[in-house]
Structure 1
Amino acid sequence: MHITIENAVKAVEAARKAAVKAGLKMCIAIVDSGGNLKAFHRMDDAWVGSIDIAIKKAKTAVFFMMPTGEVGKLSQPGKPLYGIEVSNEGLITFPGGLPIVDEEGVLVGAIGVSGSTVEDDDAVARAGAKILGVTDIPEHPWRT
């Protein structure tokens, strides 16, 4: 199952509103459950480099069914996913990407946000995902 265009647009708009409220200029990407771009918004004057980062954050979150910051914790030296960021044509392993899960707990897509600090990126991504419901995958294999 994939995120609908209606829900993708809702998530982008909620994230955009959060960014405007915080005075930020962000790139916001929504991918479907296969990691394919479904919706994208680049705010005026947002960094060009953030386009690719936002998309890769969303892809990372959907590929590994967890927030990108969690992938980052697992990809440090000595951890089980060390070096993973060079796979899949490049991943982003710092906060700002979140899975999007439907009411039944099924992964339908992900949101990725870039354009500020990782804390701001994560907060804006959470605002976008929150409009659609939960972001946690039930019984994720890496959950401790």
Structure 2
Amino acid sequence: MRRENARQECPDLQEGQSLLIAYHFHKKCFSIRSRSSRKVIGYTDRIVLSNARFLVSQSGRARVLRERMKNIHAYVQGEFMHELQHAEFPIAYVKEAYYNPYRVSTFVDKGRTEPIHFAPIAICEQGKVYYGVGNWQ
């Protein structure tokens, strides 16, 4: 995967820190939230998380469907690991995840539309989310 210069408007993140990542439509980047406080602690164009979970609040999705207005209700949750931030991942190891509240109820594999709930890693970059499959090391 190609890595471009990323905007790093985020504080120093701690090894193993549990984070929630969501795409920020107005800033065109990802917001980083502390899982414990749920407060936004920064923004970035690229972040890689280990032990990823793909979360969608069904009540948040229902509100989007009812009001036809976007709100933040879908996240990638995982642990921050310094060593993963500059790692290159072979194309064969990653697949693109997809979520659109008007079309699917959870994150899905973009190619097969099968639900995704967990992955060993998640790569959030260029406005998209990718997830690891198999053994990349």
Q: Report the TM range for the smaller structure's normalisation.
A: under 0.3
Q: Flag the structure with higher strand content.
A: 2
TM-score (ref. length: structure 1):
0.24
TM-score (ref. length: structure 2):
0.25
Larger radius of gyration: 2
Q: Flag the structure with higher helix content.
A: 1
